[in-house]
Amino acid sequence: MAVALYGDSEQTLRLLERSIGVAIHARGNELQLEGEPERVALTRRVLEELYAQIEKGQAVRNADVRHVIRMLSDEPETQLSDVYDNILSRGSRKVIRAKNLSQRRYVDVIRKHDVAIAIGPAGTGKTYLAMAMAVAALHRKEVSRIVLTRPAVEAGERLGFLPGDLSEKVDPYMRPLYDALRDMMDMEKAQRLIERGTIEVAPLAFMRGRTLNDSFVILDEAQNTTGEQMKMFLTRLGDNSQAVITGDVTQIDLPGGTDSGLVEATRILKDVRGIGFQRFEARDVVRHPLVQSIIQAYERAGRGDQQGSERPSRAKGAKASKSSGASNSSDTAQGSKTSNPAKGPRGPRGPRGGRGEGESSGDGA
């Protein structure tokens, strides 16, 4: 057990030292912790939680260690059993669990709402967890089919211009959904369910005019829907159906001037009962640690570009205001009399961000 906890060449202990700022000395099954009392207490708690997971037969990877450190640092009262013991998809090829508090809240949002909308950067598990919940619902016979869809923006929804039959045209855009699905169940079983129509994977354009009853429906890459497409999708839901909508509002690929249906829906539907929202941040990324750093670097660059574009407008507005003030003074000196002195013209307004930009900054993604 000590070897499993310490990691190969004690890499888990070294990661704890670097991340929390303590010194750890291992002597057989005993550990000596040195450092500030608060940091030592956190390290002890992390080790206890990791040991509890190992006792249940779970392997501990570096990514798991980082997630546990972050969860216990942010919310010390968190019981990791509430996060990790929640098996999302029974009967799947592997055990699938939430990996952090944001993912756990996301699972709760899906369970408690007929429509769940998840917004955040790539790698936060938005689509993967939605797929796991859909497969679990199908296994429990809560629904009779799963419908997976996403907009084929790169083809402009005009798939007829691509070579091959319908399946060959659609597959490149649906591949991420297929990959997640086959990670959760045997490939042959997944193929049989697809052939029978129990699991349907199709571009968003093919949803028009349909009513989806007794279904778990997932709309992926929703930031690339138009407002009309989003409304069309939301009104497809029939009896005993639920939908999960996922997207990253910082990666909108729509033509210039086209508002994102996801951004619009977030604004319009925020107070509608039965619709739940979960927002993820860069720190919720569960892929390679570099992915989180890359996303944060792009966020900083984006904020710098935005501030740089605003400075000339502010300076220009100040100059115009000063000029108008001088003009008023000249009129008064010439004896111009009025009961309500005219105000000078306003300086030009700074650039107005579109709805997509406003939502992006508010999302923190």
Torsion over CA: 214, 218, 223, 229 (sign): negative
Name residues whose C-beta falls within 8 Å of residue 187's C-beta, 6 or more positions apart in sequence: none
Helix (H, G, I), strand (E, B) or coil at 365: coil
Q: How confident is the model at residue 303 (pLDDT cuts 50, 70, 90)?
A: confident
Above pLDDT 70, what percent of the chain?
A: 75
Torsion over CA: 146, 130, 240, 152 (sign): negative
Q: How confident is the model at residue 116 (pLDDT cuts 50, 70, 90)?
A: very high
Above pLDDT 90, what percent of the chain?
A: 41
pLDDT at residue 312 greater than cutoff 70: no
Give the mean pLDDT of the chain.
Answer: 79
Task: At 61, list the tokens.
Answer: 């990877």
pLDDT for position 20: 94
pLDDT at residue 350 greater than cutoff 50: no
pLDDT at residue 62 greater than cutoff 80: yes
The mean pLDDT value for 334-341 works out to 42
Q: What is the DSSP letter of 164?
A: S
- Rounded CA gap, 318 and 45, in Å? 55
Distances (CA, A) of 98 to 44, 87, 127, 236: 23, 8, 13, 29
The edge-to-edge listing of strands for the beta sheet with 115-119 is: 199-203, 145-150, 215-219, 242-247, 115-119, 275-279
pLDDT in tens, 228-283: 999 999 999 999 999 999 999 999 989 888 999 999 999 999 999 999 999 999 88
Q: What is the pTM of this model?
A: 0.73
Helices (H), the chain: 2-6, 11-16, 37-55, 62-74, 80-84, 101-112, 126-139, 166-184, 187-196, 227-234, 261-268, 289-333, 355-363
